[in-house]
Amino acid sequence: MKYQLIATMAAGFESVVNQELKALGFTTQSDNGRITFEGDEHDIIKANLWLRTADRVMIVVKSFKATDFTMLFDEINAIPWENYLAMDAHFPVTGRAIKSKLHSVPDVQAISKKAIVSRLQDVYHRRTRLPETGATTKIDVRLLKDQAEILIDTTGDSLFKRGYRIDHGGAPLKENFAAGLIALTPYRANDPFLDPMTGSGTIAIEAAMKARNIAPGLKRHFAFEQFASFDPQWLADARENARADIKNDLELMIMANDIDQNMIDLAKLNANEAGVLHDIQFKQLAVKDFKTDLDNGIIVANPPYGKRLNDQTKAREIYKEMGQAFIPLKTWSKYILTSDLEFQTYYGQRATKRRKLYNGYLRTDLFQYWGKPTYKK
């Protein structure tokens, strides 16, 4: 069966997710910060298993006009929910309404939930309350003016949860955000790569997984596994094919440094869980002490942002040290993420390009310094 699908992502990564989907063979459309595409059950598995930079994949179950709550109830009740929800399924309903006559979001959620419950009670021949003790499937009801859109989440926990993170530091970068930063660079598997403030190792791990073509969803479960119409063998086959596609014959040059040995030890644990420990050279090293004879490398850094006044002074001192260490590396390209808009002043060089990204609700900028590599692209 063909479905209309939506991939969601953090603001600023729309073009990255779009390119990912196209590389996976999908025809896409971009509209108001979301990417739509079509696919069957196997495509839902493929997208969830392979998307590195998206948040989740959702099915647009139905779109219809709704100017009153009776229309909303009837249209939702007519959806074959039994194809998605088992009798004991737990299905929280979230809602949002923008410029709609049905402006009360709590009422939208309650009416939508009632419509689904009524349908399932009829199908499963139950007159008592549905238990909702089983697996969770999230349902989203969106109203824009008079148009309603009903979506089912196929992902479950957001796609940033790869399943390899044993623990993290104080302000970890989400895995899909780190993968998005890497996707914005020209990194290739044979390029030297540096994560100079690795923390729990996320950027370096994501670089290694991308270079080795390790599917980011190999170690996790998804909401679609609980759909009534889902055959577990489909996912088993997709995982087997993904493992066969891993590039095991590469020699990577990925360096991950941190001033804190405790963070290095933690990053090693995470890298081992991800299956890429042997690909990353971890080292306790301050940014100011980094030196290399290698050419044509890529640096992706997530330094401290310094949101508090005392921290800002320390952060800006680190920016100066980064400039002193990195600016002389003429053939290297550097990509540095921070919310400090004065970064360039302290780094000591104007960026080639800036890109606005949102790390959660925090506005950040990716300061890009394009190197002059000696190889021909």
Sheet holding 93-98, edge to edge: 28-31, 34-39, 3-8, 56-65, 147-153, 139-144, 93-98
pLDDT digits (tens, 9 = 90+) for 56-103: 999 999 999 999 999 999 999 999 999 999 899 999 999 999 999 998
pLDDT digits (tens, 9 = 90+) for 145-163: 999 999 999 999 999 999 9
pLDDT at 15 over 60: yes
Residue with tokens 């401290």: 304
Given this model, what pLDDT does residue 63 score? 96
Q: What is the mean pLDDT of residues 186-210?
A: 96
Given this model, what pLDDT does residue 361 score? 83
* Cβ-based neighbours of 365, under 8 Å, separated by 6 or more: 337, 338, 339, 341, 343, 354, 355, 356, 357
Given this model, what pLDDT does residue 32 score? 75
Residue with tokens 């989740």: 56
Given this model, what pLDDT does residue 217 score? 97
Q: Mean pLDDT across the chain, nearest whole number?
A: 94
pLDDT digits (tens, 9 = 90+) for 203-222: 999 999 999 999 999 999 99
Residue 311 region, left (φ>0) first, then alpha (ψ -120 to 50), else beta?
A: alpha
Q: What is the fold of 3-153?
A: VC0802-like (3.30.2130)
In the chain, % of residues over pLDDT 70: 97
Given this model, what pLDDT does residue 310 score? 62
Distances (CA, A) of 284 to 258, 262, 276: 5, 9, 18
pLDDT digits (tens, 9 = 90+) for 360-369: 888 899 999 9
pLDDT at 306 over 90: no
Helix (H) or strand (E) holding 204, with range, is helix 202-211
Confidence of residue 377 (pLDDT cuts 50, 70, 90): low
Kindly report whether the global pTM for this prediction surpasses the value 0.95: no
pLDDT at 109 over 60: yes
Rounded to an integer, what is the distance from CA 107 to the centroid of its chain? Answer: 31
* Per-domain boundaries in the chain: 3-153, 175-214+247-369
Domains 3-153 and 175-214+247-369 are alike in CATH topology: no
Residue 236 in 3-state DSSP? helix
Given this model, what pLDDT does residue 172 score? 76
pLDDT at 227 over 80: yes
pLDDT at 307 over 80: no
Q: Quick one: CATH architecture of 175-214+247-369?
A: 3-Layer(aba) Sandwich (3.40)
pLDDT at 297 over 60: yes
Distances (CA, A) of 345 to 91, 157, 177, 348, 369: 51, 40, 26, 5, 14
pLDDT at 170 over 70: no
For residues 70 and 301, give the distance between their C-alpha atoms in angstroms, rounded to a whole number. Answer: 53
Q: Between these two residues, 7 and 1, which has the higher pLDDT value?
A: 7
CB distance 246 to 179 below 8 Å: no
pLDDT at 248 over 70: yes
Helix (H) or strand (E) holding 65, with range, is strand 56-65
